[in-house]
Amino acid sequence: MITGEIKNKVDRIWEVFWTGGVTNPLSVIEQITYLLFIRGLDEIEERRRKEAALLGIKHKPIFPEDRQELRWGVFKNLAADKMYQIVSNGVFPFIKALHADKDSAYSKYMSDAIFIIPTSQMLEKIVTGLSDLPLEDRDTKGDLYEYLLSKIAQSGTNGQFRTPRHIIKMMVDLMKPSPEDIICDPAAGSAGFLVAAGEYLRDNHPDLFLDKSLRDHFNNEMFCGFDMDRTMLRIGAMNMMLHGVENPNIEYRDSLSEVNTDASKYTLIMTNPPFKGSLDYEAVSADLLRVTKTKKTELLFLALFLRIMKTGGRCASIVPDGVLFGSSNAHVAIRKEIVEKHKLEAIISMPSGVFKPYAGVSTAIIIFTKTGAGGTDKVWFYDMKADGYSLDDKRNDIADNDIPDIVARFRDLKAEENRKRTEQSFFVMKDEIVSNGYDLSINKYKELEHEEVAYEKPQVILARLKEMEREIQQELDELEKLII
């Protein structure tokens, strides 16, 4: 968590952008991302130079001898005008041209960087502000970037990109990624799921960094994220790198299209794919349409998960409620596919306020394993009623929170066997789901608890009514006397 002084520093930088007229939160994040990248490059250079000197080998510099003024450490101390000239005319062209440099992992996302800070005074303030931020510690810089991203959420319109972090964390805690997993988010956005998965592994499998092959796997192959928005790609990549993943596979890809030829590649998918997203129907991959013939992105993504996972691969995805009960052929087809040919494990129904203030949609988390041979015998349902925040637009902290209970129960499903349908979680047998047309909405299976209503006996109420009539009569008489 970012608090106190650092938070104020970030807020001040944000304010400089704001007062300078750069108000689109995404643009702000993007500009900060470039500048953080530029600062990072300088730090890598410095580290390599030291390492080379220590080992007595020749150092191959990122910055040529005659272009040393492009280094953050150099230009940050210059006068505002001079700095502005160097950054806009020197540094930006330079980072765009880094594309070929295989050693600097994130250079590929910088190729179309555009510098939009309008004045030299503003740039100076921002550079000073960013220089002030402590970026040495991995935890701090990751949190710091997450804090910046949370500002996108606060500012509204673009927030749909951002899945609430506590929901992501819950999904990661449910799926418990292992050091061998190959994790994919085909609609990665700011890479929240991948970052959270990385953090989970650091916390729960610290040993993996002692093993060279696991460490390489972690840094190079484990995390794959795709998106169609280049700004989000850059942000996602930066988010991953600041969280200490050296070379994440964050790439531009229209996941649903023919171009995406991934199949049987990943062992774990965690994602929040776009609902009702716009779709280039012509380009949609034919093998997805074979599973579910539809224009609805939320259904196509489910079909995609099934294709791109290895057999045995596990998936946790947020889906809008409609996916669970929709009665069109496409809806039923994809549910049938998952229930009959794979292993559907759990449906966690979430309250509709989870995505507020952007959207009031009701959603659920669907968890299943790709088997290709069926295996669904019973499905665990959980009716989540609170996520620790009020379910109105304000989303204030509240005490009610089902998330710890959900995680604890999911990890010990044996104990769930005897839960009744009137309780918050329970199992439903596959046969029952099939006989209900593969309907997966929890309401279909939940049973009602009838509360006792208590009233006084009719005779008692009648007696009171009569008494009251007498009183009213008496008081009317008194009133009459008062007026005369």
In order, the DSSP letters of 410-465 are HTTGGGGTT--TTSSEEEEEHHHHHHTTT---GGGT--PPPPP-----HHHHHHHH
Task: Kindly state whether residue 422 participates in binding another protein, applying the rule CB under 8 A.
Answer: no
Nearer CB in complex with another protein: 190/297: 297
**Judged by CB under 8 A, does residue 471 bind another protein?**
yes
Q: Does 469 bind another protein (CB under 8 A)?
A: yes
- The nearest distance, CB 1 to another protein, in angstroms, is 22
Least Å from the CB of residue 476 to another protein: 6
- 470 makes contact with another protein (CB under 8 A): no
* C-beta of residue 112 within 8 angstroms of C-beta of residue 99: no
Taking CB under 8 A as the rule, does residue 482 contact another protein? Answer: yes
Q: Name which position in 220, 352, 371, 424 contacts another protein (CB under 8 A).
A: 352
- Indicate the DSSP class of residue 353: T
Residue selected from 128, 160, 362, 371 as contacting another protein according to rule CB under 8 A: 362
Of 380, 360, 359, nearest to 174 by C-alpha is 380
Tell me the two tokens of residue 444.
Answer: 């279909």
Backbone angles phi, psi at 293, to 5 degrees: -85, 100
Provide the residue count of the chain. Answer: 484
**DSSP 3-state assignment of 313?**
strand
Residues 367-396 that bind another protein (CB under 8 A): none
Instruction: Choose the stretch contacting another protein; rule: CB under 8 A; options: 107-115, 234-242, 317-325, 400-408.
Output: 317-325
Minimum CB–partner distance for residue 467 and another protein (Å): 10
What's the DSSP call for residue 284? B
Number of residues that bind another protein (CB under 8 A): 30
CA 82 to chain centre: 40
- Each residue 445-464 as x (binds another protein by CB under 8 A) or -, in order, gives -x-x-xxxx-xxxx--xx-x
Q: Which of 12, 263, 49, 247 is nearest to 132 (CA)?
A: 12
Q: Closest distance between another protein and the C-beta of residue 335, in Å?
A: 16
Both ends of the chain: CA-CA distance in Å? 75
Distance in Å, CB of 364 to another protein, minimum:
12
| Structural contact between residues 92 and 115, judged by C-beta atoms closer than 8 angstroms | yes
Which amino acid would we find at residue 190?
S
Of 3-11, 74-82, 196-204, 443-451, the segment contacting another protein by CB under 8 A is: 443-451
Site for another protein in 168-227 (CB under 8 A): none
In the complex, what is the shortest distance from the CB of residue 320 to another protein, in angstroms, rounded to a whole number? Answer: 8
Structure tokens at 342: 């794979």
Task: Identify the three-state secondary structure at position 311.
Answer: strand
> Does a cis peptide bond (omega within 30 degrees of 0) precede residue 357?
yes
Minimum distance between the CB of residue 459 and another protein, rounded to whole angstroms? 9
Strand partners, 456: none
Q: What totals of helices (H) and strands (E) does the chain contain, helices first?
A: 18, 11
Binders in 225-244 for another protein, by CB under 8 A: none
Residue 452 Cβ vs another protein, minimum distance, rounded to whole Å: 6
Q: Between residues 40 and 326, which has the closer beta carbon with respect to another protein? A: 326
- Summarize as ranges the residues that interact with another protein (CB under 8 A): 321-322, 325, 352, 362, 443, 446, 448, 450-453, 455-458, 461-462, 464-465, 468-469, 471-472, 475-476, 478-479, 482-483
